[in-house]
A and B are shown apart, each in its own frame.
Chain A
Amino acid sequence: LAKTTQPISMDSYEGQEVNITCSHNNIATNDYITWYQQFPSQGPRFIIQGYKTKVTNEVASLFIPADRKSSTLSLPRVSLSDTAVYYCLVGPTGTALIFGKGTTLSVSS
């Protein structure tokens, strides 16, 4: 499975847009890019998934360049409740998830 690299931590203020970039140089043809969010003492929660180009849902956008070697999770107008750990995962769907350490996002007022 492709290994991912993402920043350990990021800081932001309420109302700002946050972009978290993930590198996955060895992504395979059948791999999808998936992001999960985890709050303290809770299980991870699916945010968004994409294969190429751009995907948008009510929570976030996911930008994937043509070479698919990186991806960017974009959170518009973050609030204090977006403070969490964000994980970038790469792999086929329907298989075990391989998590890294994730990016700890801290949102301040």
Chain B
Amino acid sequence: DTGVSQDPRHKITKRGQNVTFRCDPISEHNRLYWYRQTLGQGPEFLTYFQNEAQLEKSRLLSDRFSAERPKGSFSTLEIQRTEQGDSAMYLCASSGGRELYNEQFFGPGTRLTVL
């Protein structure tokens, strides 16, 4: 397995447009997390799935944000009516395999720029 992958790596969009990001976790991992990171800050938790169930959502996740993990494998994060404040790096992580420390493995991120 090559690790967590995210697509696209970069996305530039105009304010008001919808965008969708995809995350493919490590295959045996049942937990999947989305985070957002802005410049100079640590990642901020957005939402978390165990298999296909969305178990937790941060207050940061406004109504314009929606995430899915339909078959308990890959996940998508959609942002509707993007705003300039949505510009950030969106990180996906997975965990829940046989790792000793239950650590999260992060993907390379999708950098979103809203013009």
Q: Which of B96, B102, B108, B111 has the most C-beta atoms of chain A within 10 angstroms of its own C-beta?
A: B102
Are B42 and A100 within 8 A (Cβ)? yes
Complex: how many Å from CA A49 to CA B103?
9
B101 & A42 in contact (Cβ 8 Å cutoff): no
Contact A94 B31, beta carbon cutoff 8 Å? yes
Q: Are A46 and B104 in contact (CB under 8 A)?
A: yes
Majority secondary structure, A binding face: loop
* B2 adjacent to chain A (CB < 8 Å): no
Asked if B65 is an interface residue, CB under 8 A from chain A, the answer is no
- Is residue A98 contacting chain B, with contact meaning CB distance below 8 A? yes
| B-side contacts of A43, CB under 8 Å | 4, 91, 93, 106-109
- Chain A residues with a Cβ closer than 8 Å to the other chain, count: 21
A13 at interface by CB-CB < 8 Å: no
Instruction: Tell me whether A25 is interfacial, beta carbon within 8 Å.
Output: no
Chain B residues whose CB sits within 8 angstroms of the CB of A98 once the complex forms: 45
Q: Do the beta carbons of A44 and B101 come within 8 Å of each other? A: no
For the complex, what is the distance from the CA of A45 to the CA of B99, rounded to whole Å? Answer: 14
B109, closest chain A residue (CB): A43
Q: Which 7 A-B pairs have the closest CB atoms?
A: A43-B106, A99-B42, A46-B103, A96-B45, A93-B102, A49-B101, A94-B102
